[in-house]
Structure 1
Amino acid sequence: MDWLSAHKVKMDEVFAETESLIRAFPEPLNHHGLAYFAKFDLRQPSSTKNYICYLLPYWMQEITHLPTDRVKKLSLANVFVMLYYFVVDDIMDAAKGEHKDKLPLANLFQLQFQKMYRALFPPQSPFWPYYEAYVLEWAEAVTGELSGDYFHTDQRKVAWKASPVKNASTGALLLAGKAELIPVVTSAVEQVLVTLQMLDDWADWEDDLDEGSYNCLLAFLLGGEMRIESDSLTSEWIKHQIYVRDGLEGYSEIAATHHEELVALELSMKGLSEFHLHLVDSLRATAKEIKEKRKQLLSGGLSYFLSNSSNF
């Protein structure tokens, strides 16, 4: 995995510095922050990995040729962007103030990345209008996705749920004096973010069904008839679509189409392209595994397979 292994030492440095900055937070927020950070720490084998958030600045180096210290600063800032928006998501999803203690922590995460951006971009820099635009895109996506059914109507807005990630790519291009590449690089990053969301939604479809949250896989299986709140949409029906009717196969082919569109942009961003191909291959392999396991279980074991399947 060159898209990751080539940058492992640099990533260890970025995450070590992140840990050091959080450790300096006032008590008890430093302890809360370190505990939260540990869930996403790339150095921990069991942590949740959000590679594009912190690797994107390094993948951009092939076209920006930025010095390592600036790339590291953009990566470090994006780690705090990631932590901030995950905390915000937790708070938005919580019931009856369950995560109210995370509000001050979110503000400290935000303070860190804003401080880093201010050091890189003066007040008159065009970076700041982009920064504001990405916040607005995020806000629109998280509030309008269920009614908008973006997977069918405007897949770009599926990517907008992670729009602040683009601070890294746009920031890198501005620092390199290559603002003219922002539109095409943005298209590439958004293509990857859509596919990444597709994989997340495959992993989370049962939770999203229970919560009535928008989910790209469910939207795909419903074929544009997005009614997650309907009593007629059951877990059993969805499993039938996935495990009997090979619904994940068609879903994975959409991701494969995304890769063709990414390659057609002809960007010299090998790391980003390899990462996206890794996502596509993962989804395709899962669809193939489902089909092969079904063939093995057709002789009387299919009902057992359906009742015990849990996204493998």
Structure 2
Amino acid sequence: MNLNEDYEKEIKLIFSKAAAETDLFPAPLKEMGLVLLARFNPLQSCEGTSSYISFLLPFWLKEQTASSDVLCRDLAVGNVFAMIHYFLLDDVIDVGAGLNKAEVRDSLVLGQLFHDLFQQYYSIHFTAGSPLWKLYRSYMEDWALAVSQEGKIPADPLDPGQLARKAAPVKLCAAVCSIYCRKK
């Protein structure tokens, strides 16, 4: 399966929407955000930094959930923003001391702008009282614990649950699809 070819139309729409939102950031964060967005767009970048699961998962689950195209696209765009948010956080955590103060500040501030857009796109379909947000908090706690313990406690390659905790935010989309199915 060639994901770029099979999902080219959707990838174009997802990243076009994401670019339009990012274009509204104040300068110079707008320029930085658009560069990062292009870097994660598999149709624009050869760097291989794109995490397809982040933005294609809603479409992969569409058949099982009977989700609408609108829901899938909004979740996919939200997931792009979440992916970049966590990438920026991870970069600061991993490289931290190698970055200067301005780079750390820019990464954290830009990450927050992307995180806000992620929440906006999910909130279109899930109100504050939705069970989704309780799951979100649980996944964020899993992620936070995994990241804070990284390097302190050796990773056990035979424990996929432990290894997957750093990727806990990705679970949210699958949970959303599950919640959406129960609504129908």
Do they fold alike, i.e. is TM over 0.5?
yes
Aligned to 1:26: 26
After TM superposition, give the deviation of residue 178 of structure 1 in Å.
7.1
Mapping of residues 267-282 of structure 1, within 5 Å:
none
Paired with 2:110 and 2:89, the residues of 1 have a C-alpha distance of 10
Paired with 2:156 and 2:44, the residues of 1 have a C-alpha distance of 33
SS at match of 1:99: helix
Structure 1 runs of 4+ off > 6 angstroms? none
What amino acid is aligned across from residue 175 of structure 2 in structure 1? T
Aligned to 1:63: 64
User: Greater Rg, structure 1 or structure 2?
Assistant: 1
Counting aligned pairs with the same residue, the percent is 32
Residues 44 and 4 of structure 1: is their aligned pair in 2 closer, same or farther, counting only changes over 3 Å? closer
After TM superposition, give the deviation of residue 34 of structure 1 in Å.
0.8
- Residues 206-229 of structure 1 show CA distances to partners (whole Å, capped at 9, x for unaligned) of xxxxxxxxxxxxxxxxxxxxxxxx
Structure number with greater CO (CA < 8 Å, separation at least 6) is 2
Mapping of residues 285-300 of structure 1, within 5 Å:
none
Paired residues, what number? 179
Mapping of residues 103-142 of structure 1, within 5 Å:
103-142=108-147
User: Is the 1:15–1:43 Cα contact (8 Å) retained in structure 2?
Assistant: no
TM-score normalised by the chain length of structure 1? 0.54
Which stretch of structure 1 is more off in the superposition, 129-138 or 148-157?
148-157
Paired with 1:137 and 1:49, the residues of 2 have a C-alpha distance of 23
Is 1:10 aligned with 2:10? yes
Aligned to 1:157: 162
Paired with 1:49 and 1:102, the residues of 2 have a C-alpha distance of 18
TM-score normalised by the chain length of structure 2? 0.89
**For structure 2, which runs of at least 5 residues remain unmatched after alignment?**
none
Mapping of residues 142-221 of structure 1, within 5 Å:
142-152=147-157, 154-177=159-182
After TM superposition, give the deviation of residue 115 of structure 1 in Å.
1.0
After TM superposition, give the deviation of residue 103 of structure 1 in Å.
1.8
CA RMSD of aligned residues (A): 1.9
User: Is the 2:40–2:51 Cα contact (8 Å) retained in structure 1?
Assistant: yes
Aligned to 1:36: 36
What amino acid is aligned across from residue 116 of structure 1 in structure 2? Y
What amino acid is aligned across from residue 136 of structure 1 in structure 2? E
Paired with 2:9 and 2:140, the residues of 1 have a C-alpha distance of 31
Residues 26 and 46 of structure 1: is their aligned pair in 2 closer, same or farther, counting only changes over 3 Å? same
SS at match of 1:146: coil
After TM superposition, give the deviation of residue 146 of structure 1 in Å.
2.9
After TM superposition, give the deviation of residue 154 of structure 1 in Å.
2.7
After TM superposition, give the deviation of residue 55 of structure 1 in Å.
0.8
After TM superposition, give the deviation of residue 153 of structure 1 in Å.
5.8
User: Is the 2:24–2:30 Cα contact (8 Å) retained in structure 1?
Assistant: yes
**For structure 1, which runs of at least 5 residues remain unmatched after alignment?**
180-312
Mapping of residues 70-109 of structure 1, within 5 Å:
70-92=71-93, 93-95=95-97, 97=101, 98-109=103-114
